[in-house]
Amino acid sequence: MTEFYLITGFLGAGKTTLIHSLLPLMRGRRVNVIVNEFGAVAPDEALLTGLGAEVMAVTGGSIFCACRIAEFEDALHDALEQKPDVLLVETSGLSDPRSVRDVTKEFERDGRLKYRGAICLIDAPRFAALLETARTIKRQLAVADLVLLNKCDMVSQEFLERTETLLTSVCTARVIRTTYGRIPPEAFGALEPRGELPDGTDIMPDLTLQRETVLIDPLMTKAQLNDFLKLLSEDTYRMKGILRLKTGVHLVDCVGTNLRVIAYDGAAEEENALTLLAGAGMPLRQSLRAAIRRYDGLVRRRIG
Amino acid sequence: MSGKDVLFSILRHEEAPRAAWVPFAGVHAGALIGADAEQVLKNEDTLVSALMEVNRLYTPDGQPVVFDLQLEAEALGCELLWAKYAPPSIKTHPLADTMSVPCYCTLPNERSGRIPMVLSAMRRMKEAVGETTALYGLICGPFTLASHLRGNDLFMDMYDDEDFVAELLAYCTACVNRMTGYYIAAGMDVIAVVDPLVSQISTAHFERFLHEPYSEIFTHIRASGAFSSFFVCGDATRNIEAMCKTAPDSISVDENVELAAAKAITDRYDIAVGGNIPLTSVMLHGTQQDNMKYVVELQDELSSVKNLIVAPGCDMPYAVPVENTIGAAQAVLNRDESRAIVANYTPETFDLPVDLPDYAHLTKPLVEVFTLDSATCAACTYMLGAATEAKEHYGDAIDMVEYKFTEKENIARCMKMGVKNLPSIYINGKLCFASLIPSREELNEAIEKAKAEIG
């Protein structure tokens, strides 16, 4: 029977890094990974290939949204056909995973899958600020069986104490402090689902999640791209894409104002698409319009 | 011929023996069994009991199951403010600070909010009276739903970011189409898409933003086997022709629209028209004879009852006296007898003493908002919302007051001021905005002008 693990956490919390640190713990076992991207492309799929696991992607929305759930069920079915020992599912950072057991139930019932639990990554430096605006975080914590408070090395001890106090006030799962998405092997081994979700969880849809896709002209220089990203960094949670530029292929992986554009040893997507994600109160639409005006001809917004 | 058959003839644009009669009893249905608005809009058994009483007392050809334009918005995350004797109003707008078009997977489904309760009540009503009474499923129109989600800024967006408005309206249209499917499956014969704010925009904006969504909605309703109604409140006179071009089976208007003039237009397109008994001055505050006389004269003014549905202008106020609605019903169902009964009747007037402000000697701008009732009329809510925003901006530098037409002295005030359309904004006694919700800039500019005039 395949062991099923759900990896959740908000955008940029370190979910892909966690999978990197998990794979060595499962050496000798056959591992499949399903990566879910809110955007149209899946850079994380590319980042995880070549690590010995079978990786597939579900893009263009959360796997738990009505518009993608059938696709997720198909992916789950295909993955289980291969009878792996372990199946890791990395959700999109904007996913509300509270219906995960509704999806896995059928596969659990016929004995193909054993649900081992959900690990939620929390970005220590940004948690307090995000909790105010991003409703998804509370929903991800609601299903978590283990919480990894990540990037603890990036904040002071006092800040960390405050963050952990805040975290434990909104979540009842076990919390472990960590860096670089590392998980103690014994904590991973002891992971068990905690049972049903508590009653009264907020069931309202979150209308404020924003996703924009822009298409980048390969004639753009890296300096222009950096400036373009800078114009938008305050008004996004995340910007992601693998882009072909004048100077070669680059991986764009930005979390808030932390911009990361690095050379990438692989092919870019045909469309040269960059996905931008934002949430409540972020004027992404307006800043994107201004940024596109500045780079008229080199960037265009994809409609639909 | 059952009442339902009469209404169907009218909606098929055939000759009919009389006009059709559709009392829009929403929260008022609760009043008939002693239930308040919250009980009737939240409890299925209470709702069904109240609707059965409407059916028994008012002998309608058609009747709505629920009249609550906040139902879909609530399922989408708007918080509601509940009132005892009026439908709820919107307290929070989820997109107020976020210019975002939500993912379509967030659209309401059969399990969202109060929708399961409403669908169940619809099925029960279909079973109980569906043979003889046509049932109306009322859906919040895309423009009003977009306003519920975005708030007053939507009126600015129409100038600042047309694409955003078009995309948000497409999302709201998808919501209407989805609700249409649920309601028709639950037995609704007529789908009324209720969009009060349509009366608050120009024809150019209607054509730019609403022609396409509404054409799609009415095509979808027709293809799904139901009749359609394009239901507006407020002075939609300027947009009647544009509404006809979206091809609904019928159009419903309130007392702000002159029915004979509207019917002259709808007749050209062979579309039925419904309306427009005044909700407060006649139904709420009038007598039974007032109602009877009004409805007799309304029909007599028109050359034919073909394509005519007699109905209250909008959702009936909670406390409309039962006998008034019965009087209106009689005037449709037994028109000649009713004409004889009220032949020598002289209606009561609203000649109450009202003191108007001394507009010539104001020390600061006075913004007066005349509404039907901002708690129950969505157009009025957003007109008052615009004025409230201005008051927050200017603070003590201006005065702002709302006059609701539901109160007798305010009816007298409207008459004395010569207020012709509701909602309207007057500044320093001068009409500035009638049935057109101003953007923030437009209202502030008018206030600045008034300030300059005071000196």
The pLDDT of residue A65 is above 90: no
- Of the CA atoms within 13 Å of residue B262, those in its CB half-sphere come to 30
| Chain B contact set for A62 (CB, 8 A) | 105
Stronger pLDDT, A195 or B98, i.e. the higher one: B98
Alpha-carbon gap: B393 to the closest alpha carbon of chain A (Å): 21
Q: Which two tokens stand for residue A152?
A: 């603890």
The pLDDT of residue B455 is above 80: no
Strands A238-245 and A273-278: antiparallel
Whether B384 and B402 have beta carbons less than 8 Å apart is answered as: yes
Q: Which helix (H) or strand (E) holds B368?
A: strand B366-371
Residue in B79, B105, B150, B178 to test binding to A, most A beta-carbons within 10 Å: B105
The pLDDT of residue B321 is above 90: yes
- Of the CA atoms within 13 Å of residue B249, those in its CB half-sphere come to 24
Whether B10 and B309 have beta carbons less than 8 Å apart is answered as: yes
Q: Which of residues 436-455 of B touch A (CB under 8 A)?
A: none
Lowest mean pLDDT, pick from A233-237, B349-353, B445-449:
B349-353
Q: Which helix (H) or strand (E) holds B228?
A: strand B227-231
- Three state DSSP letters for chain A: CEEEEEEEECCCCCHHHHHHHHHHHHCCCCEEEEEECCCCCCHHHHHHCCCCCEEEEECCCCCCCCCCHHHHHHHHHHHHHCCCCEEEEECCCCCCHHHHHHHHHHHHHCCCEEEEEEEEEEECCCHHHHHHHCHHHHHHHHHCCEEEEECHHHCCHHHHHHHHHHHHHHCCCEEEECCCCCCCHHHHHCCCCCCCCCCCCCCCCCCCCEEEEEEECCCCCHHHHHHHHHHHHCCCCEEEEEEEECCEEEEEEEECCECCEEECCCCCCCCCEEEEEECCCCCHHHHHHHHHHHCECCEEECCC
* C-alpha to C-alpha distance for B244 and B215, rounded to whole angstroms: 10
pLDDT of residue B372: 83
- Average pLDDT of B156-167? 93
- Average pLDDT of B52-80? 96
Which chain A residues touch B if contact means CB-CB below 8 Å? 61-62, 65-68, 204-211, 278-286, 289
The pLDDT of residue B162 is above 70: yes
Lowest mean pLDDT, pick from A197-211, A266-280, B247-261:
A197-211
pLDDT of residue A304: 66
| Chain B contact set for A284 (CB, 8 A) | 99-100
pLDDT of residue A133: 79
Lowest mean pLDDT, pick from A195-199, B110-114, B379-383:
A195-199
Whether B339 and B296 have beta carbons less than 8 Å apart is answered as: yes
Lowest mean pLDDT, pick from A48-52, A53-57, B130-134, B269-273:
A48-52
* C-alpha to C-alpha distance for B315 and A152, rounded to whole angstroms: 58
Alpha-carbon gap: A67 to the closest alpha carbon of chain B (Å): 5
Task: Select from B95, B109, B161 the Cβ nearest to the Cβ of A207.
Answer: B95
The pLDDT of residue B289 is above 70: yes
- Average pLDDT of A64-79? 84
- Residues A131-189: tens digit of each pLDDT: 887 888 998 999 999 999 999 999 999 999 999 999 999 998 999 999 999 999 999 99
- Residues B343-386: tens digit of each pLDDT: 888 877 777 889 999 999 999 999 999 998 888 777 888 899 99
CB within 8 Å: B105 and A66: yes
pLDDT of residue A59: 81
Does the structure's ipTM exceed the value 0.85? Answer: no
Task: Select from B100, B109, B161 the Cβ nearest to the Cβ of A207.
Answer: B100
Q: Which of residues 44-103 of B touch A (CB under 8 A)?
A: 76-77, 94-95, 97-100, 102-103
Report which of B136, B394, B90 is spatially closest to residue B249, judged by C-alpha positions. B136
Report which of B14, B16, B4 is spatially closest to residue B59, judged by C-alpha positions. B4
* C-alpha to C-alpha distance for B182 and B115, rounded to whole angstroms: 9
pLDDT of residue B307: 97
Which range has the top average pLDDT, A83-97, A200-214, B108-122? B108-122
CA distances from B86 to A214, B22, B81 (A): 46, 20, 10
Indicate the pLDDT class of residue A201, thresholds 50, 70 and 90: low
In A, minimum Cα distance to B79 occurs at A204
Q: Which of residues 96-155 of B touch A (CB under 8 A)?
A: 97-100, 102-106, 109, 149
Residue in A208, A235, A275, A286 to test binding to B, most B beta-carbons within 10 Å: A208
pLDDT of residue A159: 96
pLDDT of residue B110: 93
Average pLDDT of chain B, as a whole number:
94
The pLDDT of residue A252 is above 90: yes
The pLDDT of residue B105 is above 90: no
pLDDT of residue B347: 78
Q: pTM of the full predicted structure?
A: 0.84
Residue in A207, A213, A276 to test binding to B, most B beta-carbons within 10 Å: A207
Whether B4 and B133 have beta carbons less than 8 Å apart is answered as: yes
Q: Which helix (H) or strand (E) holds B37?
A: helix B37-42
Task: Using the structure block, give the residue that is written with the tokens 């994380």.
Answer: A44
CB within 8 Å: B77 and A61: no
CB-count burial class (<10 Å; 0-12, 13-18, 19+) for B54: buried
Stronger pLDDT, B450 or B379, i.e. the higher one: B450
Task: Select from A204, A211, A281 the Cβ nearest to the Cβ of B98.
Answer: A281
Determine the straight-line distance between the first and last CA of chain B, rounded to whole angstroms.
Answer: 68
The pLDDT of residue A197 is above 70: no
pLDDT of residue A136: 86
* C-alpha to C-alpha distance for B281 and B350, rounded to whole angstroms: 9
CB within 8 Å: A61 and B149: no
CA distances from B147 to A246, B73, B144, B258 (A): 45, 10, 5, 26
Domains of chain A: 2-189 (3.40.50.300), 210-301 (3.30.1220.10)
CB within 8 Å: A208 and B109: no
The pLDDT of residue A233 is above 60: yes
| Chain B contact set for A280 (CB, 8 A) | 97-98
pLDDT of residue A52: 75
In B, minimum Cα distance to A279 occurs at B98
Percentage of residues in chain B having pLDDT higher than 70 = 100
Q: What letter would DSSP give residue B196?
A: G
The pLDDT of residue A269 is above 80: no
* C-alpha to C-alpha distance for B455 and B449, rounded to whole angstroms: 10
* C-alpha to C-alpha distance for A113 and A32, rounded to whole angstroms: 13
pLDDT of residue A40: 64
Task: Select from A67, A279, A286 the Cβ nearest to the Cβ of B104.
Answer: A67
pLDDT of residue B422: 81
CB within 8 Å: A205 and B77: yes
